[in-house]
Amino acid sequence: MGFSLLAGTRAPVRVWTDPYAIEPQAAKQLRNIGALPWVQGVAVMPDVHFGKGATVGSVIAMRQAVSPAAVGVDIGCGMSAVRTSLTAADLPDDLAGLRRAIEDAIPVGFAQRDEPVNPRRVRGLEQRGWDDFWRRFTDLDRRVAQLETRARRQLGTLGGGNHFIEVCLEQGGVDDGRVWLMLHSGSRNIGKELAERHIAVARRLPHNADLPDRDLAVFLAGTPEMDAYRRDLWWAQEYARRNRAVMLAVLMNLVRDRFPQVGYDEPISCHHNYVSEEHYEGVDVLVTRKGAIRAGRGDLGIIPGSMGTGSYIVRGTGHEWAYCSASHGAGRRMSRAQAKRTYSTEDLAAQTSGVQCRKDAGVVDEIPGAYKDINEVMAQQQDLVEVVAYLKQVVCVKG
């Protein structure tokens, strides 16, 4: 599928889905984004849906400006995955013990670690840069200074909502049945605190007074506010990357303890709520991806479905009109509140049949039926990515 243009915008808004199927609230957000004077263009991914501040599934290229709400509050949220040498035949028939071991090793939900992670004690974890990384905490917005202890203890923890850890099986091809480990998480509370503070600052700046939506307030290049945001943004994106790296190393070691024969390929990792400095159509731009991954030519990425449906490992095609991007997942088709009104725990159990996971009222809002069909989403972006592997989870850990 190619793209369509959303009508009634100043900058081009290219849509990789049926534009008439976009919910009205999201379409209004996209038109508001396309009207901003700093916007070079917008690419809308097939998992698009209404989001707080800015649309989820939007890729926004701006000249000399950036909107913190177009990144979102979970700065650096993203995915990591690694293929193992194990196959389905190596796994026990009852996976409840493996799920419990993961939940015991990695705090989920609001939980944090009793003591901060010592990188030197985690086998296989990248050792470089930790001291400098934490030293730079003191350079962040002074209003978060009291949160350092919490930030340290939340490093290597999953969080709640749509964050997850999965054990998956590759489906089809010569590696049918191969076991993968996958996880989805971000910058935890510290990213949220930094984002909310900067969004509030942007809303008060005079040049944002007449915007159609104050949630789309921007920082301008060369200003102290932009410099402060970029400093905190880069740090939070690194926190999210290191958070996933810690969890993946812990998960890999846990599996190695249970299956000493296991081997691992090189892990894949990608942000899907972040900012990047890029160059398109002869212009240097700041690209914000909120619910979208980079899909430059040859880039490996991860596009998950939901807790009962499959996920895809993909390779980008480098489509420049999409700003070298692709969707970050299936995308919600209904809000969490609507999902809770619509579905029961019985529905959840039926839709996650065959998956060792929570099936209680606390995760009904994450039921597969609340998400778009991942296979349809993939069909709409065949020009953006090519499929490397299709995975189906057998264990899913939720916060």
Residues recognised as catalytic = 328
Residue 118, annotated ligand binder?
no
Residue 304, annotated ligand binder?
yes
Residue 328, annotated ligand binder?
yes
- Coil, strand, or helix at residue 180? strand
CA distance 58 to 307: 23
Residue 156, annotated ligand binder?
no
Cα(first)–Cα(last) distance of the chain, in Å? 36
Residue 338 φ then ψ, to 5°: -65, -40
Residue 2, annotated ligand binder?
no
Residue 163, annotated ligand binder?
yes
CB 186 within 8 A of CB 157: no
Q: How many C-beta neighbours within 10 Å does residue 297 have?
A: 11
Strand 65-66 with 219-220, pairing: antiparallel
Sequence-distant contacts of 54-57: CB under 8 A, at least 24 apart: 54/29, 54/215, 54/216, 54/288, 54/290, 55/26, 55/29, 55/30, 55/290, 56/290, 56/291, 56/331, 56/332, 57/290, 57/291, 57/292, 57/327, 57/328, 57/331
Residue 272, annotated ligand binder?
yes
Q: Which two tokens stand for residue 155?
A: 């490093």
Residue 135 φ then ψ, to 5°: -60, -40
Residue 330, annotated ligand binder?
yes
- Residues 152, 84, 105: CA angle, nearest 5 degrees: 30
Residue 319, annotated ligand binder?
no
Residue 119, annotated ligand binder?
no
Residue 269, annotated ligand binder?
no
- Residues 281, 289, 264: CA angle, nearest 5 degrees: 110
Residue 276, annotated ligand binder?
no
Binding residues for Mn(2+): 74, 163, 184, 272
Binding residues: 74, 162-166, 184, 272-273, 304-307, 311, 328-331, 398
Binding residues for GMP: 162-166, 272-273, 304-307, 311, 328-331, 398
